[in-house]
Amino acid sequence: MRSIQPPPVLVRRALRVVWPLLALTITILGLPVLVAGALASVVDRRARLFRATSLLILVVWLDVQLLIGCWRLRLADPRGASPSWYPDHEQLLSDVLDKAMALGRKWVGFEVRLDDVMDLGDPGKPLIAFARHAGPADSLAVAWLLSRTGGRLPRIVLADALRWDPGIDLILTRLGSSFVPSASGAGDDRLAGVRRLADSLARKDALLLFPEGENWTPSRRGLLITRLREAGQHARARQAERLRNVLPPKTKGAIATLSARPDADVMIVAHAGMGRLTGAREIYAAIPFERPFLVHTWTYPAETVPHEPAAIESWLSARWAEIDAWVERQGE
């Protein structure tokens, strides 16, 4: 995802117009596959092709619903100056997240569970959440959980390649989320958006970041260890070797965020159950999922979190070791 460049502005605008027609085309092309999947379910009792195709088509139309919802809000408030402009978009996104999670449960058994009470911190302070990145739809699940469990729909830092999705692009742009430039983007300050989001957090806001930068997979872990050794970063290579289920966290974003908002409580988010589903083949073979997406959180009051760069690095590394140990105990 990080290697994919975002569409130019004119292409983004064009996608917002033609996306319903493209969705209709995808649906028509998917109908024969859907029929084949229904017939194949006689042999494949798990009905994987039927389930996966049905979910894909429904999610495409859910994205169209998101886009049309944004159009309606613009028509109702052309200047975007109403006091309800931001809350209305939050409600739209929350409703679509609810529907997406319901579809995931119904069609492929994607069920999110908490293994303990989620502490959202002081309700009078903003919350910064650092989450593990692994498995299918983990960012969606964590964002939904923060929204529905604690009423804190998070602002998200995500790859700017996701601007190819017109619904996501439009609503998250309006909500002020940060689309991080790809690593190859010459001259781009990849932390500018993170700092902007941190600075703008109100007392009931949440900011969600994934410090690993990309989904954990065995191959990425191995390549990272090799690169670190070749670069002479032996201490960091040893850290990566000790972590079996996560990648070492990249700390620049965390440092920028915590330095900007020393008043924010911090949540660490671990999850297990689907982290080993690292590719399309593994995901497809596991449908319907038999294990839940199990989530565990640790919340730290602002005054207990360090804010000096070196101390943040050590603190976050320790937290990621705890995530790794917790995932290991779940038998993932």
pLDDT of residue 163: 92
pLDDT of residue 179: 85
Strands 127-131 and 265-272, sheet pairing: parallel
Mean pLDDT of 153-177: 90
Question: What is the chain's mean pLDDT, rounded?
Answer: 92
Task: Give the separation between CA 303 and CA 286, rounded to whole angstroms.
Answer: 43
Distance, C-alpha 326 to centroid of its chain: 20
Task: Give the separation between CA 61 and CA 67, rounded to whole angstroms.
Answer: 10
Degrees, nearest 5: CA angle 318-240-290: 85
pLDDT of residue 158: 84
Q: Are 303 and 309 in contact (CB under 8 A)?
A: no
Task: Give the separation between CA 22 and CA 263, rounded to whole angstroms.
Answer: 45
pLDDT of residue 184: 47
Task: Give the separation between CA 61 and CA 43, rounded to whole angstroms.
Answer: 29
Strand partners, 157: 178
pLDDT of residue 181: 73
End-to-end C-alpha distance for the chain, whole angstroms: 24
**Per-residue pLDDT reduced to its tens digit, 235-257:** 889 999 999 999 999 999 999 99
Mean pLDDT of 128-140: 95
pLDDT of residue 1: 59
Mean pLDDT of 265-283: 95
To which residue do tokens 């790859």 refer? 159
Mean pLDDT of 292-316: 96
> For residue 185, is pLDDT > 70?
no
pLDDT of residue 182: 61
Tell me the three-class secondary structure of the chain, residue by residue.
CCCCCCCCHHHHHHHHHHHHHHHHHHHHHHHHHHHHHHHHCCCCCCCHHHHHHHHHHHHHHHHHHHHHHHHHHHHHCCCCCCCCHHHHHHHHHHHHHHHHHHHHHHHHCCCEEECCCCCCCCCCCCEEEEECCCCCCHHHHHHHHHHHHHCCCCEEEEEHHHHHCHHHHHHHHHCCCEEECCCCCCCCCCCHHHHHHHHHCCCCCEEEECCCCCCCCHHHHHHHHHHHHHCCCHHHHHHHHHCCCCCCCCCHHHHHHHHHCCCCEEEEEEEECCCCCCCHHHHHHHCCCCCCEEEEEEEECHHHCCCCHHHHHHHHHHHHHHHHHHHHHCCC
- Backbone φ, ψ for residue 42 (5° rounding): -65, -35
> For residue 150, is pLDDT > 80?
no
> For residue 149, is pLDDT > 70?
yes
pLDDT of residue 139: 92
> For residue 143, is pLDDT > 70?
yes
> For residue 267, is pLDDT > 90?
yes
Mean pLDDT of 30-38: 97
Strands 112-114 and 265-272, sheet pairing: unpaired
Mean pLDDT of 278-304: 96
Mean pLDDT of 92-105: 96
pLDDT of residue 186: 39
Domain boundaries, the chain: 9-329
Q: 160: buried, middle or exposed (CB in 10 Å: 19+, 13-18, 0-12)?
A: buried
> For residue 189, is pLDDT > 80?
no
Q: 58: buried, middle or exposed (CB in 10 Å: 19+, 13-18, 0-12)?
A: middle
Mean pLDDT of 55-66: 97
Task: Give the separation between CA 192 and CA 178, rounded to whole angstroms.
Answer: 9
pLDDT of residue 268: 98
> For residue 141, is pLDDT > 50?
yes
**Per-residue pLDDT reduced to its tens digit, 305-318:** 998 999 999 999 99
Say what angle helices 234-242 and 218-230 make with each other, to 10 degrees. 160
Sign (positive/negative) of CA torsion 265, 179, 113, 89? positive
More confident position, 270 or 150: 270
pLDDT-derived band at 159 (thresholds 50, 70, 90) equals: confident
Task: Give the separation between CA 99 and CA 217, rounded to whole angstroms.
Answer: 28
pLDDT-derived band at 6 (thresholds 50, 70, 90) equals: confident
